[in-house]
Chains A and B, each alone.
Chain A
Amino acid sequence: QQQVKQSPQSLIVQKGGISIINCAYENTAFDYFPWYQQFPGKGPALLIAIRPDVSEKKEGRFTISFNKSAKQFSLHIMDSQPGDSATYFCAAITNSGYALNFGKGTSLLVTP
């Protein structure tokens, strides 16, 4: 059973545009919500993460928005660049857990 649902499956954005990827979860015990970026042939790289006590976290061009009541969180990539073209995964883990629960991933293509 997929504990974290991610959409869209694929996304095409023009250079300079905003990329938005959404995730939803059901388990209210989830305590930590990271986003990973994966390039072909590489392992996932931790991009940015948030805990449920804040509604937004920004690091450079990457922002996580978190809505605890709706059990949703999203990644916004501002000023998207061709180098951002990759697969993005959201994930969640409980405060006593050891296993990241991943979304199915979003393949992002940023066109020049």
Chain B
Amino acid sequence: KAGVTQTPRYLIKTRGQQVTLSCSPISGHRSVSWYQQTPGQGLQFLFEYFSETQRNKGNFPGRFSGRQFSNSRSEMNVSTLELGDSALYLCASSLQTSGAQYFGPGTRLLVL
């Protein structure tokens, strides 16, 4: 089976802009989670979707949002970008709750 894919792999944006990141889960996986990884804060949970419904959200401002489509693909959006949003954004998919989560390669976002 193909793994989790994320596009784009790299992005450079300026402060105030918005960005949309895309994730395609492993075939058959209906749960998609997003994480932010930074050197200072480590890996932090953003949100999780299952069957197009957001089931859980981490402690991030409302500028961070996401959605999931009927084919389980997911997108996350960050509006009004800040310098501190520079990070590796990781998507993970899983078959079931409290089970193994498989990560994609991530999207490296740099905000200038």
Q: Are the chains A and B members of one assembly?
A: yes
List residues of A whose CB falls within 8 A of some B CB: 31-32, 34, 36, 41-46, 49, 89, 91, 93-105
**Known contacts A43-B106, A99-B56, A102-B42: does B98 contact A31 (CB below 8 Å)?**
yes
Does A97 contact B100, Cβ atoms closer than 8 Å? no
Does A42 contact B98, Cβ atoms closer than 8 Å? no
CA distance A31 to B96 in the complex (A): 13
- For B54, give the chain A residue with the smallest CB separation: A98
In the complex, per-residue mask of B15-41: 1 if CB is within 8 Å of any chain A CB, else 0:
000000000000000010101000000
Q: How large is the interface on B (under 10, 10 to 19, 20 to 34, 35 or more residues)?
A: 20 to 34
**Known contacts A32-B98, A46-B102: does B42 contact A105 (CB below 8 Å)?**
yes
Min distance, Cβ A79 to any Cβ of chain B, angstroms = 25
Q: Identify A98's interface contact among B4, B44, B56, B106, CB under 8 A.
A: B56
> Which residues on B sit within 8 Å (CB–CB) of A46?
100-103
Q: Is B70 an interface residue (CB 8 A)?
A: no
Does A95 contact B98, Cβ atoms closer than 8 Å? yes
Q: Is B43 an interface residue (CB 8 A)?
A: yes
- For B6, give the chain A residue with the smallest CB separation: A43
Some 27 contacts from A to B, beta carbons below 8 A apart, are A32-B99, A41-B105, A42-B106, A43-B4, A43-B90, A43-B103, A43-B106, A44-B43, A45-B103, A49-B100, A89-B43, A91-B43, A95-B98, A97-B56, A97-B97, A98-B31, A98-B48, A98-B50, A99-B48, A99-B56, A99-B58, A100-B35, A100-B45, A100-B101, A101-B45, A102-B44, A103-B42
